[in-house]
Amino acid sequence: MVPPPLRHQPPVIVPGLPVARPRRPRPARDLTLVLGAIPQETELVAWALARKSRREFAGFPFIEGRIDGRRVIVAVTGIGKTNATLITTLFVEKFRPREVLMCGTASRIDAAIRNGDVIVGEVTCNHDMGSLGAGYAMEYFGSEGPRGDHSPIVYPGDRRLLAAARRALRTHIPETATHQSPAYVPTVRCGRITSGDQFGITAERIADILRQLQPNLMEMESGSVAQVCYYLRVPFLCIRSGSNRTQHSPDNDYRALSPFAARQAALFTVSLVRELARHPARAGAARQP
């Protein structure tokens, strides 16, 4: 039997930086899912949990407990966009959280960011979707998505969560960076975070990312988490703290500076969850038992 001709044409590529539009959240339970790429990034969130229990889902461990009465699930995704996509999808589908928070460390692509400064993602994006041209310049485009749409590259943070973060930062007090000379208190502010599956990158690539996306921090997971949450209609916010400079060989600097950064991101995440506990979601998604 001869197979029929193909009905579908090759995808149309739309150049540019497509931005995700707001979508109405789907029905959810009253709980917050907190993700980090590695245990260092979620350790202090788990420490803050009351009535905690360690469990597994589909072979992947997580910790469940409460912060100021709010039910919280804390899980580790593993490093990289594929691992982050896997765990986010599994846990969102299983637990139907009201919101997803991604916390952890990121390299400081913006020279004004110091070790331990925290950026709350007004925008989270992916910097490695496109065609890489001469001089490591990226031609970005919207690739065909799972619904025949064009997947966004830029994902604005959820408005309700950003409002809660702005309330939380009024009273949040970061730890002092006493390991630096002179010591300083890190800042917490809103900004832009970009993701890609490269740990170290060239100076030419750094310059192009700064030119086109203007990020403050660069890391390896949150863009894909934002994309999963967009398609599954779950409010998302990224909270990252600066570790090493964005550079070609960051390993030694990352190991030295990431512990302090991981602490600051996790501690602000706890402050945000406490704010969410004080002002639970009202309008928007219907509730599930």
- pLDDT value at position 287? 54
Report the chain's mean pLDDT, rounded to a whole number.
94
**pLDDT exceeding 70 applies to what percent of the chain?**
97
For residue 276, what pLDDT band results from cuts at 50, 70 and 90? very high
Average pLDDT (229-240) is 98
**Is residue 85 domain-resident?**
no
Q: Which residues pair with 36 in a beta bridge?
A: 76
Tell me, yes or no, whether 87 lies in a domain. no
Chain length of the chain:
289
**22 inside domain:** no
What is the reported pTM? 0.94
Which residues in 100-135 are b (16+ Cβ under 10 Å) and which e?
bbbbbbbbbbbeebbbbbbbbbbbbbbbbbbeeeee
CA dihedral 212→216→220→221, nearest 10 degrees, is -100
| 18 domain-assigned | no
**What CA–CA distance (Å, rounded) separates 156 from 282?**
21
Which residues in 30-109 belong to E strands, given as ranges?
31-36, 50-57, 60-67, 70-76, 99-108
120-142 pLDDT, tens digit each? 999 999 999 889 888 889 999 98
Split into its structural domains, the chain has a count of 1
Three-class secondary structure assignment of 35-53: EECCHHHHHHHHHCCEEEE
Strand intervals (E) in the chain: 14-15, 31-36, 50-57, 60-67, 70-76, 99-108, 118-126, 130-132, 138-142, 154-156, 188-195, 217-219, 236-245
Predicted pLDDT of residue 283: 40
Give percent of the chain with pLDDT exceeding 90: 84
Q: Is the pLDDT of residue 289 over 90?
A: no
Regarding predicted confidence, which is higher, 180 or 143? 180
Q: Is 118 within the bounds of a domain? A: yes
In a domain, 206, yes or no: yes
C-beta neighbour count of 4 within 10 angstroms: 6
Report, as an integer, the average pLDDT of 201-216: 95
pLDDT bin (cut points 50, 70, 90) of residue 150 is confident
The per-residue pLDDT for 243 is 97
Please say if the pLDDT value at position 240 is more than 50: yes
Within-domain flag for 216: yes
Residue 256 belongs to domain with CATH number = 3.40.50.1580
Other CB atoms within a 10 A radius of the CB of residue 173 amount to 9
The pLDDT of residue 136 is 87
Cβ neighbours of residue 260 closer than 8 Å, sequence gap 6 or more: 115, 116, 175, 177, 179, 243
Range of the domain at 119: 104-277
* Helix (H/G/I), strand (E/B), else coil: 255: helix
Distances (CA, A) of 228 to 22, 50, 91, 196, 238: 14, 29, 11, 15, 13
> Does 75 reside within a domain?
no
| Residue found by looking up tokens 């709010």 in the block | 70
What's residue 128's pLDDT?
92
Q: What's the rounded Cα separation, in Å, for the pair 223 and 195? A: 5
